[in-house]
Structure 1
Amino acid sequence: MLSVTLDPSGTFLTLESTAGPQRFHAIWLRDNAQDAETRAPGNGQRLIALRDIPADTRIAAAEIAPDGALQVRFMPEDKTVRFDPAWLAAHAYDHAAPTARGWLPDGIQAWDAGLMAAVPCGDFAQLQQGGAPLRDWLGQIVRFGFAKVVNAPVEPGALFRIVDLFGFVRETNYGRHFEVRTEVNPTNLAFTGLGLQAHTDNPYRDPVPTIQVLYCLESSAAGGENMVVDGFAAALRLREENPEEFDLLADHCARFEYAGEAGVCLTSRRPMIELAPDGELTGIRFNNRSCAAITEVPFDKMEAYYAAYRRLGEIIDDTAMELTFRLEPGEAFVVDNTRVLHARKGYSGEGTRWLQGCYADKDGLRSAHDAMCREGVLEAAE
């Protein structure tokens, strides 16, 4: 049963349901009206600006209509708007603010080496068909920050077909894609046989490429196994061990730089642990190769900052935090580059190891996933 109570001031109402009471302000409700004069029926975008809504908007009356909708009359416009209670419940904001810095929203799951028993993975042929397999694979990337692809074609440029599943390639100074194999006089250590510490790519960019795809074409060299580490899990472990060290890495900017080729000097100034204003853990930037001189930390905190930086690196290097797998030709993995660090073990000069990589953007991936989820909900409701 639904019921509604209007505050005598008219500035807010309280909607009572089996889930408990939820308060909504008059100005918020008016701004979120779904009527055809306020929102375009086709795409849901607002047709008015906030300046078009009277600053002294109040609720004159509110009731539950016979069909279960919440009906609200606003003054001074004398405008009546209907609201879906289910929509209001999904967008309710009358709840306690998070108190812990570094909280994760619903749908995001931190992980460690225990995920090795169930590595997120999708079969390329099934993914190309769309539908539930693609939706679920994209959902795994949203939840865990990475997923593998298997049984894809072994041909140069096939990595673009993976990006086509959810978005568009982001071109950089490395080109539309880049080759990962041993080179003479490489412009980047990624193009050698050296082992690499787990890292996020391109922290020297603003914004960073938020999705990375690495696609295997040849893999006969000894070694070279790929590793991934959940940067969110590493940051939360640091917070649990030492909240002060977590705060140091979240409250002060590091500097990152890349100037390894002619005409390129990329720099950024961002914290290694990025938080939203309300404390949500939103990003990790960690790359020992690209970290420039850190100058944003006060003198009296620099030693403690370096201790925190060292400890985060030790946590990232802990084998209990990593998943390790070998990519075979026709296999790839996709990572959320704002969260999941990737690495590889060193490999010998015997045999070959050839991967191609490219970047894309997380908004496209999330858009594809969310659109498929909404379409599924609508189909189930019909």
Structure 2
Amino acid sequence: MWMTTLARCALPTMLKRSSSVSACHFSRIGGRPELTVATSPTLSLYPTWWQLRGHGTQAPARMTSNPLGASTGVRHARALDQERQLEVEWEDGGQSLYPYTWLRDNCQCPVCTLQSAGARSLQLSQLDIHTGVDQVHVTDSSKVSILWPDHHTSEFDPEWLKKRCFSPAARQALQEELFLNERVYWDSELQIPTANFEEVLHDDKAALDWLLALRRVGIVYLKGASAEQGQVARLSQRIGFLRLTFYGHTFQVQDKPQANNLAYTSGDLNLHTDYPALHYPPGVQFLHCLRQADDGGESEVVDGFHMAERLRREDPEAFRTLSSLHIDFTDTGADYCDFMVQSKNRIIDVDSDGHVVRINFNNATRDSVLDLPLHQVQPFYSSLQAYVQLMTRPENMLTYKMEAGDIVTFNNWRLLHGRKSYMCHPGCVRHLEGGYLDWDVVMSCLRVLRKSVHGES
């Protein structure tokens, strides 16, 4: 059965959510129905799963909300000296094991931890990684107390311990809570989550919903900003700070003479991610429409992660090629300062488990230098073309047109974006202001907002 709202299906499952039904209404952006947040304080930013998913896409598997059960009371704790582990039996009947070394390393007392910073002050050189345990007992306040051979005592709160259980299910749940790595894949039928710009700036719940949607879906529309420069900076200050690049703190996307970037022309922009010429490209991009073109200028986006997984299924060899070969990118010019940027990136970046974590592709800045053995050149071109052809299928690409005051926020590591050519009458120049943020800054703000809204540690 489909879940009632995306918030129930795609938000981190360890996050406590209101059970009230979201009240939403629809507006239209660029000819497509879009979800808009109404003013009720209990609303979710998210469309229903069926509205979001489009035809033929699949929901990711849901995680259990609490792999170890709801209760955090300790029934019993004992030392297993042969295994050098502490066994904790919970009141709900579950059990957890904790290595002695890890427990001593993470003692929470004021001697071992700087309480004001939550930072470990115990030095690794002072840690006996082969330590035993002299005594274990559960205190009247249900804390687990350990007396170590050096006569140091550690006390551990049961909730703190249970959250850090080493079972696969608990580790997976905690990592999802920390990093929110589950994704909702989409195609041309996506209804872009949309929120009010001023509400995001001034209401923590609205800002949290915005960032959660940005993380899960990869793109969120903000309506209602004034059509003047400076709104990108205002929005970035809500999160933290902008990423300074060679194009400045913000950049003006206009048709310019002697343009130092293809974006600064009125021609077609093919699907791309920004700045693969950097080894660490910006993670999030804001684009604010100040003035739209008279004719043309529609934006195009595609879910690069979804297309990478499709490529993995349909053409495994092409996926293997693009996720293993490091390709040269370059960007040279003058803007905020003179620059000659050079990088080597994989088109499809995967982590050690093979999960897609970043797309690096801009055909304009892909270098003519191709540092590959001769026998890999043709397979590379065949693989890259297969990926591009997959992304540019009409059923996979979403098209919309921004209006003055609109701000689109999107995941630059995941989405590939482009633009159709445009024409403007004299004296009416299409103008967008853009800016970048790093995902570390965005995720930091998301966690702070989550704690503010839901009281989570």
Do residues 364 (structure 1) and 441 (structure 2) align? yes
For residues 75-130 of structure 1, the C-alpha deviation after alignment (integer angstroms, 9 at most, x for no partner) is 3x3322222333333333332899xxxxxx7553132226623x122211111213
Q: Comparing both chains, which one has the higher relative contact order based on Cα–Cα distances under 8 Å and sequence gaps of 6 or more?
A: 1
Give the SS at the match of 1:320. coil
> For the structure 1 residues 33 and 158, does the alpha-carbon distance in structure 2 shift closer, same or farther, using more than 3 Å as the test?
same
Q: Which secondary structure state, in structure 2, belongs to the residue aligned with residue 324 of structure 1?
A: strand
Which residue number corresponds to residue 34 of structure 1? Answer: 108
1:301–1:84 Cα change, 3 Å: farther
SS state at 1:170 partner: coil
Contact 2:331 2:339 in 1 (8 A): yes
Q: Name the SS for the 2:405 alignment partner.
A: coil
- Deviation digits for residues 283-302 of structure 1 (CA, Å, limit 9, x no counterpart): 11111111114644444443
Deviation string, structure 1 residues 200-245 (Cα, Å, up to 9, x no partner): 1011113212222111000142111112222221211112223333
Identical amino acids, percent of aligned pairs: 27
Q: Give me the whole-angstrom Cα distance separating, in 1, the residues matched to 2:163 and 2:188.
A: 33
- 2:220 aligned partner, one-letter code: A
1:342 has 2:417 as partner: yes
How far does the alpha carbon of each residue in 1:5-48 deviate from its partner, in whole angstroms, 9 at most, with x for none?
Answer: 53232522333444844332222222222221121222201112
Paired amino acid for 1:34: Q
TM alignment of 1:55-94, pairs within 5 A: 55-75=129-149, 77-94=150-167
1:268 pairs with one of 343, 365, 371? 343
Looking at structure 1, the residues matched to 399 and 254 of structure 2 have their Cα atoms a distance apart, in angstroms, of 19
TM-score between both structures, scaled by the size of structure 2:
0.75
Counterpart of 1:204 in structure 2 is: 277
Q: Does 1:187 align with 2:260?
A: yes
What amino acid is the match of 2:269? L
Please say if 1:111 is aligned against 2:185: yes
* Partners of 2:78 and 2:323 in 1: CA distance: 42
Give the 3 Å change call, closer, same or farther, for CA 110–93 of structure 1 in structure 2: same
CA–CA distance in 2 between the matches of 1:258 and 1:55? 49
Name the residue aligned to 2:121: 47
Equivalent residue number for residue 88 of structure 2: 15
Structure 1, gaps ≥5 residues long:
99-104
Distance 1:287 1:93, change over 3 A: farther
User: Cα distance, 1:145 vs. partner?
Assistant: 2.3
Structure 1 counterpart SS, 2:296: coil
RMSD: 2.6
SS of the residue 2:386 aligns to: helix
Distance 1:131 1:174 in 2: 31
Matched ranges for 1:186-265 at <5 A: 186-261=259-334, 263-265=338-340
- Mark the runs of 5 or more structure 2 residues left unpaired by the alignment: 1-72, 173-178
Q: 2:363 matched to 1:288?
A: yes
Aligned partner of residue 342 in structure 2, secondary structure: strand
* Contact 1:217–1:355 (8 Å) recurs in 2: yes
Counterparts of 1:61 and 1:280, CA distance in 2: 43
Deviations 1:292-338 (A, max 9, x none): 14644444443333222122212222232333221111111112222
Q: Aligned equivalents of 1:159 and 1:12: distance in 2?
A: 52
Equivalent pair of 2:107/2:113 in contact (CA under 8 Å): yes
In structure 2, what is the Cα distance between the partners aligned to 1:327 and 1:40? 49
Number of aligned residues: 372
1:305 equivalent among 374, 380, 384: 380
* 1:61–1:294 Cα change, 3 Å: farther
Shift in Å at residue 342 of structure 1?
1.5
Superposition deviation, residue 369 in structure 1: 1.0
Contact 1:197 1:343 in 2 (8 A): yes
Distance 1:79 1:73 in 2: 6
* 1:102 alignment partner in structure 2: none
For 2:195, which of 122, 127, 139 is the aligned residue? 122
Go from structure 1 to structure 2 and tell me whether the alpha carbon gap of 1:89 and 1:246 turns closer, same or farther (over 3 Å shift).
farther
- Which one-letter code corresponds to 2:111 in the other structure? E
What residue identity is the alignment partner of 1:174? Y
